[in-house]
Amino acid sequence: MISSPFCLRALPFGMRLGLSALIGVLAIGIAASIAHVHDHYENRDDRPGLTLDDLEGAYRGLDRPAQLLTTIEAGHPADLDPESKKILGDWLRGDRVVESYDDLDLGDFAPAELIAVHCLQCHSRQSTGESAVGERLPLDYFDDVKLLAYSQRVEPTPAAVLTASTHAHALSLATLTLVVALLAWCTSWPRRLISISIAAIGLGLLFDIGGWWLAREVAGGAGVVAVAGSVYNGGTGLVLLAVLIDLWLPLKKDTLPPPLTDPASGGD
Ligand code: HEC
């Protein structure tokens, strides 16, 4: 029983050392792929940081006009004269939002000036009165304005690229996870815990990679990818840690996993 190949702790020292080193390499790989996901998708929308919109944009594409533009076009504020409305609209639709914001050549018609005249009585941090919204929606500085001035237009990842990525990731990650699952099963952790964990990471990977395709078709699919990917990565990390711990715990007779039942002997 002690030499059972199904008990990691019973493996010779060299095997346990080698397996531990390989788990270390996997941990490095997981960290690198998380960093890669972050860098790769971060700038799909124009906002800093990895947001759901970045993922949504990567899979489905995004075409979301700037909030300032939709608000102005919807007729807010009610007393905005048509000329200023047109200038602000053209500015926000154009691709020189930063450069033209306080363009001196535009004089009183520079967006910054128009905003000062038509918006700041309510949208300044200094505004007071019942329609003051400067606390929540300030437009005092370009740093405020730009948060609402971004149009988000993102082309989705071409299907051919996604196919190539699916082919590489589905095969390698499923194989890797299979090995992780087998290792976990050879530990002395409670069977139920192992089986719940493996169910979670297996389903996590299925919905992660399946979600890439789902997200092309269905709004909100990117959320599925984000949740499933986190479950998969987090779960795999924890299972690997559990395997690593188990490799180096002392071998006791009662920590051995239950022997496999032999169907020929009547399940006894
Ligand atoms: C008379 C006061 C007033 C003026 C002038 C005004 N706003 Fe507003 N603005 C408001 C109020 C009140 C809201 C509603 C805030 C809320 O959602 O509760 C608002 C909301 C907004 C919003 C957010 C809309 C949304 O989608 O929720 C934007 C963007 C905005 N204003 C831009 C502007 C711009 C640009 C101007 C100038 C061209 C301007 N506002 C002028 C009072 C004003």
| pLDDT for res 5 | 52
| pLDDT for res 190 | 93
For residues 207-216, average pLDDT: 93
pLDDT tens digits, 221-236:
889 999 999 999 999 9
**Which of 29-38, 53-62, 103-112, 174-183 is least confident?**
53-62
Burial profile 141-162: b = 16 or more Cβ within 10 angstroms, e = fewer: ebebbbbbbbbbebebbeeeeb
Distance CA 133, CA 139 (A): 10
pLDDT tens digits, 138-162:
999 999 999 899 887 778 888 999 9
- Identify the residue whose C-alpha is closest to ligand 1 atom 27: 71
Q: Of 230, 233, 209, 231, which Cα lies nearest the Cα of 221?
A: 209
What spacing in Å lies between the alpha carbon of 133 and ligand 1's midpoint?
7
CA distances from 215 to 36, 52, 61 (A): 20, 12, 10
**Which of 7-21, 33-47, 93-107, 249-263 is least confident?**
249-263
For residues 108-117, average pLDDT: 94
What spacing in Å lies between the alpha carbon of 106 and ligand 1's midpoint?
24
**Which of 2-11, 207-216, 240-249 is least confident?**
2-11
pLDDT band at 267 (very low <50, low <70, confident <90, very high): very low
User: Could you identify the atom of ligand 1 that is nearest to the CA of residue 79?
Assistant: 5
CA 237 vs. chain centroid, Å, equals 17
CA distances from 95 to 84, 87, 89, 156 (A): 18, 14, 12, 20
CA distances from 104 to 100, 141, 144, 258 (A): 9, 16, 20, 80
Whether pLDDT at 173 is above 70: yes
Pocket of ligand 1 (CB under 6 A): 67-68, 71-72, 76-77, 80, 115, 118-119, 121-123, 131, 133, 137, 148
| pLDDT for res 258 | 58
**Residue 58 half-sphere exposure toward CB, CA atoms < 13 A:** 24
| pLDDT for res 241 | 96
**In the predicted model, what is the mean pLDDT of the chain?**
87
- Identify the residue whose C-alpha is closest to ligand 1 atom 32: 68
Query: Long-range contacts: 146-151, Cβ < 8 Å, 24+?
Result: 146/97, 146/98, 147/47, 148/66, 148/67, 148/68, 148/71, 149/66, 149/68, 149/69, 149/92, 149/97, 150/45, 150/46, 150/47, 150/66, 150/97, 151/64, 151/65, 151/66, 151/69, 151/92, 151/93
Pocket probe for ligand 1: among 67, 68, 76, the residue whose CB has the most ligand atoms within 8 Å is 76
| pLDDT for res 7 | 87
| pLDDT for res 4 | 46
For 84, residues 6+ apart whose C-beta sits below 8 A from its C-beta are: 109, 114, 117, 118
In angstroms, what is the C-alpha Rg of the chain? Answer: 28
Distance CA 170, CA 176 (A): 10
| pLDDT for res 53 | 77
Determine the longest span between alpha carbons in the chain, in angstroms. 93
For residues 107-124, average pLDDT: 94
Distance CA 225, CA 245 (A): 30
**Which of 40-49, 97-106, 120-129, 208-217 is least confident?**
40-49
Residue 77 preceded by cis peptide, ω within 30: yes
pLDDT tens digits, 84-109:
999 999 999 988 899 999 988 889 99
